[in-house]
Amino acid sequence: MYYSAIGLLAIAILLIENHDIFFDRSDSQHIPAIGLYRKLLYCILLYYTTDVLWGVLDSLHLIFPLFLETMIHFIAMISGVLLWTQYVVAYLAEENAFSRFLSYAGRIFFAVFLAIDIFNCFTPVLFWIDESGAYHANTARYALLLFQIALFLLASIHTFYAMSRTESATKKRYRTICLFGLTMAVMLSIQLYYPLLPLYSIGYMLGTSLLHAFVVADEKDEYKYELAASLLREKRQHEQLRSAWQLAYTDSLTGLKNKLAYIEAEEQKDRLIAKREAPQFSIAVFDLNDLKSVNDRMGHEMGDQYIVRASRIICTHFKFSPVFRTGGDEFVVLLEGTDYQNRVDLKERFDRMITSPDYDQDMIIAMGMADFNPEQDSAFNQVFERADRKMYLRKWELKNNRRSSSQTAAQE
- DSSP helix, strand, coil percent of the chain (3-state; round to 5): 70, 10, 20
Look at residue 269 in the predicted model and tell me its pLDDT. Answer: 94
Look at residue 201 in the predicted model and tell me its pLDDT. Answer: 92
Q: How far is Cα 376 from Cα 386, in angstroms, rounded to an integer?
A: 12
Look at residue 302 in the predicted model and tell me its pLDDT. Answer: 83
Q: Tell me if the domain spanning 2-232 has CATH number 1.20.1070.
A: yes
Q: How far is Cα 395 from Cα 179, in angstroms, rounded to an integer?
A: 87
Cα–Cα distances in Å, from 163 out to 166, 174, 183, 217, 220?
6, 6, 17, 19, 21
Q: At what angle do helices 259-274 and 218-249 cross, to 10 degrees?
A: 100
Look at residue 92 in the predicted model and tell me its pLDDT. Answer: 87
Look at residue 410 in the predicted model and tell me its pLDDT. Answer: 42
Break the chain into its structural domains and give their ranges.
2-232, 259-399
How far is C-alpha 352 from the geometric centre of its chain's CA atoms? 57
How far is C-alpha 71 from the geometric centre of its chain's CA atoms? 47
Q: How far is Cα 91 from Cα 86, in angstroms, rounded to an integer?
A: 9
Cα–Cα distances in Å, from 158 out to 91, 92, 153?
14, 11, 9
pLDDT tens digits, one per residue of 202-219: 999 999 888 887 776 555
Look at residue 165 in the predicted model and tell me its pLDDT. Answer: 84
Look at residue 392 in the predicted model and tell me its pLDDT. Answer: 92
Q: How far is Cα 177 from Cα 106, in angstroms, rounded to an integer?
A: 15
Q: How far is Cα 177 from Cα 163, in angstroms, rounded to an integer?
A: 10
Strand, coil or helix: 278: coil
Strand, coil or helix: 373: coil
Look at residue 265 in the predicted model and tell me its pLDDT. Answer: 93
Look at residue 397 in the predicted model and tell me its pLDDT. Answer: 87
Which residues of the chain are under the pLDDT cut of 70? 1, 25-32, 168-169, 216-232, 238-246, 358-362, 402-412
**The residue type at 20:** D
Burial class (CB in 10 A: 0-12, 13-18, 19+), 207: buried
Phi, psi of 286 (to 5 degrees): -125, 150
Task: Please identify, in words, the CATH class of the domain defined by 259-399.
Answer: alpha beta
Q: How far is Cα 339 from Cα 369, in angstroms, rounded to an integer?
A: 12
Look at residue 224 in the predicted model and tell me its pLDDT. Answer: 57
Closest CA to 134 of 192, 50, 62: 62
